[in-house]
Each structure stands twice: as structure tokens, then as C-alpha cells.
Amino acid sequence: MTAPLASGYRESVLWHEAAPLDAGTGDGPLPAEVDVVVVGSGYCGLAAATELARRGRSVAVLDRGPLGVGASTRNGGMVLPELKAGPRTLATQHGDLGRRMFAAVDEAFDHLEALVTGPDAIACDYVRTGRLELASGATSAAALRRAADELEEVGHGARYVTGADLAAEIGSTTYPAGLVVERSGGLQPARFHAGLVARARAAGATLHPHRAVTAVRADGVDTDAGTIRAGDVLLAVNGHVDAAAPDLRRRTLPMGSFIVATEPLTAEQQAAVLPTGRMAYDTRNLLSYWRLDADGRMVFGGRRSLRRTTVRQAREVLRDRMVDVHPQLAEARIERAWGGEVAITRDRLPHCGRSDGAWYAGGCNGSGVALNTWLGHRMAGAICGEELPPFAELPHPRVPPNRAVWLPIVSTALRAQDRLDRIRRA
Ligand SMILES: Cc1cc2nc3c(=O)[nH]c(=O)nc-3n(C[C@H](O)[C@H](O)[C@H](O)COP(=O)(O)OP(=O)(O)OC[C@H]3O[C@@H](n4cnc5c(N)ncnc54)[C@H](O)[C@@H]3O)c2cc1C
């Protein structure tokens, strides 16, 4: 069935309505010389610029579009300290580095919470809701049970839930089991971004939207409006990496992710679908993620395959999935639909360090609200001579070329794996 649409339906980002993209031209002409050029005005670039400026560095942030045009004002707003694997698994796979990577993600969560709570908090509707990860079948349920044990071992409140405990968390019979983790939350992504813009400016960084960096040079960058001399350059481009960073581009797979938002639900509907208000997502390779926003809308995201998809095609798929999970929402009308780019890496882990003659950080595989903000903050320290985040110690493998050939095959395989897991219900 075609999705029922609200009369004011638009293909546009819901979050931009409360926090519009800055239409301005930025903070004056490009400087001829700075200590650091930051490429990209998302969470990562802004967090880096703020910290660098606070440490006395002159910083210019350039973005080829409006400030925040990338994933940072389009995402689901889920604040999730996770690396797709639990702490014990990470330690088994990577030894001490695995332990430090888990600690880094944990630190990223604390760092984000410090920005959005307390007296100088960025106002962005942050609530520590906890998260609910949902198993599609027996294999993923077993994985969630292991994950609960692993998180418990390191003192994180985590519960494997089934039956009545699961029913108390979600009004859906689609999933046989779930994992509840308290250390997670939700925010309004564009309001959070606007707060980071204000902090970067207050710290003294200058922000330059609609200015593309076209190449990194040994002594700075070329841009579409001239050259800037700089001691250091930070590529904070994540899934938007382009020809200015050819090496990083070979290591990153940009992948569309899409979201639909319903009209505000009634209090009864909200309580019927997500009674505890947690950030919810499932364990499928091509996962769905969903939450309620501050106005009680159902915000439901995901994608159907790895193939190119339009917002309209994605809207139909997401609305069907939403109703599969929550039949209570069969009549709920879709008010907004939009998409954005996430940065997938071959090992599904974030990376940072040096590439293309510059510093870089990114590749958060769809979980970068806390992590990319923290990575930006920590890369500022690294540029000032401190230790790099642990992810810099990982080899950063290339994504195979000829994506047009292998992506459809991988996509079909992932969907088959997802179907098999669903068939083998716990
Ligand atoms: C639909 C969607 C849902 C998501 N949901 C979640 C979620 O719920 N929770 C979560 O943790 N994460 C989520 N993510 C991921 C998260 O949004 C990202 O990891 C994070 O925002 C990345 O921040 P960033 O600053 O590294 O990059 P971005 O915000 O993508 O910014 C990169 C910027 O670099 C600029 N740029 C690139 N090349 C150049 C150049 N040559 N010159 C100038 N500028 C350039 C781009 O214009 C862009 O503005 C989601 C992402 C999407 C798309």
C-alpha cells in the first residue's frame, strides 16, 4: 500500500525546521594563512575547531555547502556508545587495542553528555532514554545475550529481555528478544549542531560555508576561492569525502540512509509503541532504527538494500517496515522524508590518523553523533602534539573498487542472511 501522506508532506529534513541550516555566507573572506584548516562543518570539524581555538590556534572551517549540510543535521539523533561488538569480543579480536577502543567509545558518550547537560548545556532536547536493540531471530538473539553478558562484565547496566520484559519495552511482536542498555540517549541533531556552531565561533574559529577545498598541499589547501596557507589540515568529511582526499576516498564507502517522520502521535499511540521511550534498532544487516521525537512523532530510519535509492522509494519501504513492526501505526500519516550519507568502512570501525597529507577522522558506520564529536575534540589534541585516539592504530583497509559490480551481490547476500535469521526465530 502507498504510504498515507500528511497534507503538508515534504521531502525535507524535519530537524531543520527547529534549527534551519544557516543561510549566511559565513565569517568574512577566507584568511590567507591560519594554523589549521578544518575541512567539513559537521560535529567532527566543529568540535575540533572549538578545541583548537581554545588552545590558541587560528582555525578556519570550510564546507562546500551550508554549515552542517552533511550527516550532522540529518541523522536519527541516537546517542549510542557502541562499536557493533561488545568489550570482550573487541578485546579478543584486538587485544589491548580492543579494550582501549571500547574505553574510547565510553569516553565519547561522557563527552557528549557533558556538552548537552549541565549549566552551559547545548539545548537540543537531550534525554538519556537508554537504548533497545532488537533481535530478528535466533542467531541475533544469541548475540544479544552474549552482548548483555559482556556489558555486565564491565559494569554497564545491560539486560537481555524476552517475553513480558520485552513487551514492557516495545509494543511489537516482531522481535523475539532484545537488549536494553541504559547508557544511551536521544537528541535533536540539528539543534545540537547549531550549539556546536555557536561554541566554535565563541572560541574564535572562523566558519566558511560554500567554500570547497579542492586539494591538500604541503603548506595548506587549495580552495574554489584561492589558497590558504596552513600548518595543519584536518579532513572531517566522513561520508562526504571527495576528490580533495583521494586516498581516504578509497577507504570509505558512502552509503545512503533514510528517515521518515509521522505526524505527532497521540500520547496513547506513543505509549503503545515505545512505552519506555528508548532509542530502538534491530540487529539486521540492513537495519531499521526508530524513536519518538520531542513532539511525539515516530522517526523511523533505515534502508532496504545497498543499491542507490531515492527518498521516495525509501519512504515507501520504511513506512511498510514501520507498520510491520508497529501495526498500531497503520493510519499514521507520513509528514517528512529525507536521507543522508553515512561513512561505511571495510572493518565497520572508525578510523583516524594521517591521509592525503592531512589529519583525518571519520568512518563511524552510522554511529557518529557521540563518536565523531569526540574524535574531532581528540584530533585537536593530536594536532597539538597529544596522543592520537586508539583507532589510529588500526590498519585502514581500502574498500574494493568496482562497487557497481559487488554492491548488488553483497546487498543480496545481506538480505538473505537477514531473512534466514528471521526464519530461525528464538
Ligand atoms: C540518515 C542518517 C541517520 C543517522 N543516524 C545516526 C544516529 O541516530 N546516531 C548516530 O550516532 N549516528 C547517526 N548517523 C551518523 C552521524 O550522523 C555521522 O556519523 C556524523 O554526523 C558525522 O559527522 P561528521 O562531522 O564527521 O561528518 P558530516 O556531518 O557528514 O560533515 C562532513 C562535511 O564535510 C563537507 N565536505 C566534504 N568534502 C569537502 C570538501 N572537499 N570541501 C569542503 N567541505 C567538504 C561536507 O559538505 C559535509 O558538510 C546517521 C547518519 C545519517 C545520514
Interacting residues of 35 by C-beta distance below 8 A, sequence separation 6+: 52, 57, 58, 59, 230, 231, 232
DSSP assignment string, 260-298:
EEESPPPHHHHHHH-TT--EEEE--TT-EEEEE-TT--E
Q: Which residue puts its alpha carbon closest to atom 44 of ligand 1?
A: 63
123 in Cβ contact with 191 (< 8 Å) = yes
Residue 206's alpha-carbon distances to 87, 150, 182, 425, in angstroms, are 39, 44, 37, 54
Q: How much distance in Å is there from the Cα of 282 to the middle of ligand 1?
A: 22
Pocket test for ligand 1, best of 342, 351, 378 (most atoms within 8 A of CB): 342
Q: How much distance in Å is there from the Cα of 36 to the middle of ligand 1?
A: 20
**How high is the pLDDT of residue 425?**
64
From the CA of 68, give the closest atom in ligand 1: 49
77 in Cβ contact with 291 (< 8 Å) = yes
Interacting residues of 21 by C-beta distance below 8 A, sequence separation 6+: 66, 67, 68, 69, 73, 190
**How high is the pLDDT of residue 23?**
83
From the CA of 245, give the closest atom in ligand 1: 41
176-188 burial code (b ≥16 CB/10 A, e <16): bbbbbbebbbbbb
Interacting residues of 188 by C-beta distance below 8 A, sequence separation 6+: 15, 18, 19, 77, 124, 125, 293, 294
pTM over 0.85: yes
Interacting residues of 42 by C-beta distance below 8 A, sequence separation 6+: 68, 70, 71, 72, 193, 236, 238, 372
**How high is the pLDDT of residue 146?**
94
**How high is the pLDDT of residue 46?**
98
Pocket test for ligand 1, best of 112, 238, 287, 303 (most atoms within 8 A of CB): 238
From the CA of 223, give the closest atom in ligand 1: 42
Question: What is the Cα–Cα distance from 376 to 353, expressed in whole angstroms?
Answer: 11
Q: Which residue puts its alpha carbon closest to atom 50 of ligand 1?
A: 75
Question: What is the Cα–Cα distance from 377 to 131, expressed in whole angstroms?
Answer: 25
Interacting residues of 185 by C-beta distance below 8 A, sequence separation 6+: 78, 79, 113, 126, 127, 128, 129, 130, 279
Residue 179: its H or E element: strand 177-181
DSSP secondary structure code for residue 239 in this structure? G
Q: How much distance in Å is there from the Cα of 142 to the middle of ligand 1?
A: 32
Question: What is the Cα–Cα distance from 231 to 302, expressed in whole angstroms?
Answer: 40
Q: Angle formed by the axes of helices 87-94 and 96-116, to 10°? A: 140
Q: How much distance in Å is there from the Cα of 412 to the middle of ligand 1?
A: 26
**How high is the pLDDT of residue 1?**
66
Interacting residues of 412 by C-beta distance below 8 A, sequence separation 6+: 305
- Residues at CB less than 6 angstroms from ligand 1: 39-45, 62-65, 69-72, 74-78, 80, 212-213, 236-240, 242, 244, 257, 259, 301, 340-342, 362, 364, 366-369, 372
From the CA of 369, give the closest atom in ligand 1: 11
Question: What is the Cα–Cα distance from 389 to 352, expressed in whole angstroms?
Answer: 7
Q: Is 205 exposed, middle or buried (0-12, 13-18, 19+ CB in 10 A)?
A: buried
Q: Which of 122, 116, 111, 78 is nearest to 282 (CA)?
A: 78
Q: Is 395 exposed, middle or buried (0-12, 13-18, 19+ CB in 10 A)?
A: exposed
pLDDT tens digits, one per residue of 362-409: 998 999 999 999 999 999 999 999 999 999 999 999 998 887 778 777
Q: How much distance in Å is there from the Cα of 228 to the middle of ligand 1?
A: 24
**How high is the pLDDT of residue 426?**
52
From the CA of 289, give the closest atom in ligand 1: 8
- For residue 281, how many other CB atoms are within 10 A of its CB? 23
**How high is the pLDDT of residue 412?**
80
Q: How much distance in Å is there from the Cα of 3 to the middle of ligand 1?
A: 28
Q: Which of 389, 396, 384, 395 is nearest to 103 (CA)?
A: 389
Q: Which residue puts its alpha carbon closest to atom 35 of ligand 1?
A: 40
Pocket test for ligand 1, best of 63, 181, 211, 355 (most atoms within 8 A of CB): 63
Sequence length of the chain is: 426
Q: How much distance in Å is there from the Cα of 341 to the middle of ligand 1?
A: 7
**How far separated are the first and last CA of the chain, in Å rounded?**
30
Query: Which parts of the chain register pLDDT below 50?
Result: none
- For residue 48, how many other CB atoms are within 10 A of its CB? 32
* One-letter identity of residue 136: S
Question: What is the Cα–Cα distance from 314 to 157, expressed in whole angstroms?
Answer: 35
